[in-house]
Amino acid sequence: MKKNVGTADKVIRILLAVVITLLYFTHVVSGTWGIVLLVLAAILLVTSLVSTCPLYAIFGLRTCPLKKNK
């Protein structure tokens, strides 16, 4: 898959994943919502590490700059 997640987007996704994880492990969020948020945190982390977001691809979005051909 082509990369469609830019640097700023990656940083935001990683920060959100860390915050959600901290909220879960400090018992601020628990139960079903906690599990759902942990899954969301994992998805955010993975998509930031691989620089590809399937939802962005579906909707034709990209937050990374296009590379120019030389």
pLDDT tens per residue across span 5-23: 999 999 999 999 999 999 9
User: Do 1 and 62 touch, CB atoms closer than 8 A?
Assistant: no
pLDDT tens per residue across span 20-61: 999 999 999 999 999 999 999 999 999 999 999 999 999 999
Alpha helices in 1-70 (DSSP H): 7-25, 31-50, 54-59
Pair of tokens at residue 34: 């906690």
Asked whether the predicted pLDDT for residue 1 surpasses 80, the reply is no
Record the pTM.
Answer: 0.87
Give the residue extent of every domain in the chain: 7-59
Q: Residue 25 region, left (φ>0) first, then alpha (ψ -120 to 50), else beta?
A: alpha
